[in-house]
Structure 1
Amino acid sequence: MANIKRKCVLIVVMLLALVLGACNSNTAKSDPYSEVVEIDGQSLTITLDENNLSAGTITSENGTYTFEYGVPGNSIVFTVNYPDGYVFSQTEINGGFATPAEYNSIERKNKGYIDLFSLNYSIEGVIDNARGTSNNGSPSILLALALIGVGAWNFFGARSVWYLFRGWWYKNAEPSDLALMLYRLAGVFLIFAGIICAIASF
């Protein structure tokens, strides 16, 4: 009997180690998201701020741009600082864009800079890509919820879990106290692992 207890405890510990290893595979803060894009024949590197995907820098052969999307009130303000110090700000109100009258895209192109509308389109694409991969490598909140749910079921409904996995094999069988204790213990470990995954996913 003691040999069975040791084997069961060893299996539970190994399962816990596997679950925690999967949850904690990449909880360190990742580098800022960066992507190389081709705009108007120029190769640009768009790098998003690691804390704010709505801001970042654009590195080109003509210098470094900075950009930021802000949301004051009900409008979205898109601001770009060109390498020569020119600041462009565009406001979107109810789906329409208000572009400053002094902006001259031909002048910008003649100076070797990228047209703002092309920049905006490319930046939005990079931001969309980053949002799709910003949680890459870290555990999903769905995994955390699943672990917590299964753990709670193991803890509070150990008899039904036992029946699902073993009880249906036998006629008129009852789980032993040891089996119920091990299922409850596994439930505690799964809940703990789910909490760790939930914390790591943020």
Structure 2
Amino acid sequence: MANIKRKCVLIVVMLLALVLGACNSNTAKSDPYSEVVEIDGQSLTITLDENNLSAGTITSENGTYTFEYGVSGNSIVFTVNYPDGYVFSQTEINGGFATPAEYNSIERKNKGYIDLFSLNYSIEGVMDNARGTSNNGSPSILLALALIGVGAWNFFGARSVWYLFRGWWYKNAEPSDLALMLYRLAGVFLIFSGIICAIASF
């Protein structure tokens, strides 16, 4: 009986280490507020303000832009400050941004300014990533391994799992065949869930 207790404690410690390892791997990510994107053949670095994800800077081969999303009445206003001091602002109309003709002038294109629609789209993608609404929501491989590990423990060590959750309450108690079967079924379910999670994380 003491041997089963030691095994249970060892498995619990291993699971805690796995969970803590998953937490540490999340904090070691690269800067979530900065991303390099390609627009119209130009490489840009979009960096969000950590205190206000609706504003930031864009570093390009043609200089540094700043941008900000604000609210005017019921509409969103997208403002870009260009390297030459030109300030461009556009207001959301019916859920989308319309680009006025002044932005598309030959002079502005000759200066290498980025298409505003593409710029807006790329900035919103970086904002989504920083808020965790993009790929960050996908299941982790560590979670998959944890599910498979716990499932295997349930399937192959049903008696020790029963002891951890119920057996220690009673003196000289033995699990019923039905209880062991239910723990093994739970193990199969967890292993299957872990496999699905592993597939989804790639």
TM-score clears 0.5: yes
- Taking the aligned partners of 1:2 and 1:188, their CA distance within structure 2 comes to 27
C-alpha deviation, 1:85, in angstroms: 1.1
Deviations 1:6-41 (A, max 9, x none): 333233323332333334432368524433333344
Whether the 8 Å contact between 1:37 and 1:43 is mirrored in structure 2 is yes
C-alpha deviation, 1:75, in angstroms: 0.9
Question: Relative to 1, partners in 2 of residues 1:94 and 1:48: Cα closer, same or farther, differing over 3 Å?
Answer: same
C-alpha deviation, 1:115, in angstroms: 3.6
Question: Relative to 1, partners in 2 of residues 1:148 and 1:190: Cα closer, same or farther, differing over 3 Å?
Answer: same
- After TM superposition, the structure 1 stretch with the greater mean CA deviation from structure 2, 124-133 or 33-42, is 124-133
- Taking the aligned partners of 1:116 and 1:171, their CA distance within structure 2 comes to 73
Question: Relative to 1, partners in 2 of residues 1:149 and 1:74: Cα closer, same or farther, differing over 3 Å?
Answer: farther
Question: Relative to 1, partners in 2 of residues 1:125 and 1:159: Cα closer, same or farther, differing over 3 Å?
Answer: same
- Taking the aligned partners of 2:186 and 2:139, their CA distance within structure 1 comes to 20
- Taking the aligned partners of 2:11 and 2:178, their CA distance within structure 1 comes to 14
- Taking the aligned partners of 2:170 and 2:149, their CA distance within structure 1 comes to 27
C-alpha deviation, 1:121, in angstroms: 3.6
Question: Relative to 1, partners in 2 of residues 1:199 and 1:172: Cα closer, same or farther, differing over 3 Å?
Answer: same
C-alpha deviation, 1:139, in angstroms: 8.5
Deviations 1:69-113 (A, max 9, x none): 223442111110101111111000332545567545322113333
Whether the 8 Å contact between 2:35 and 2:45 is mirrored in structure 1 is yes
Whether the 8 Å contact between 1:74 and 1:93 is mirrored in structure 2 is no
- Taking the aligned partners of 1:44 and 1:12, their CA distance within structure 2 comes to 47
- After TM superposition, the structure 1 stretch with the greater mean CA deviation from structure 2, 46-55 or 184-193, is 184-193
Percent identity for Structure 1 against Structure 2: 99
TM-score (norm 1): 0.56
SS at match of 2:114: coil
Whether the 8 Å contact between 1:16 and 1:193 is mirrored in structure 2 is no
Paired positions, count: 202
Q: CA RMSD in A?
A: 8.8
C-alpha deviation, 1:127, in angstroms: 4.0
TM-score (norm 2): 0.56
1:91 aligns with 2:91: yes
- Taking the aligned partners of 1:102 and 1:32, their CA distance within structure 2 comes to 34
Deviations 1:42-73 (A, max 9, x none): 33222333444433221112210011222344
Deviations 1:132-151 (A, max 9, x none): 67674998899799999999
- After TM superposition, the structure 1 stretch with the greater mean CA deviation from structure 2, 177-186 or 18-27, is 177-186
In the other structure, the counterpart of 2:150 is 150
- Taking the aligned partners of 2:191 and 2:72, their CA distance within structure 1 comes to 41
- After TM superposition, the structure 1 stretch with the greater mean CA deviation from structure 2, 183-192 or 81-90, is 183-192
- Taking the aligned partners of 1:23 and 1:195, their CA distance within structure 2 comes to 21
Question: Relative to 1, partners in 2 of residues 1:51 and 1:105: Cα closer, same or farther, differing over 3 Å?
Answer: farther
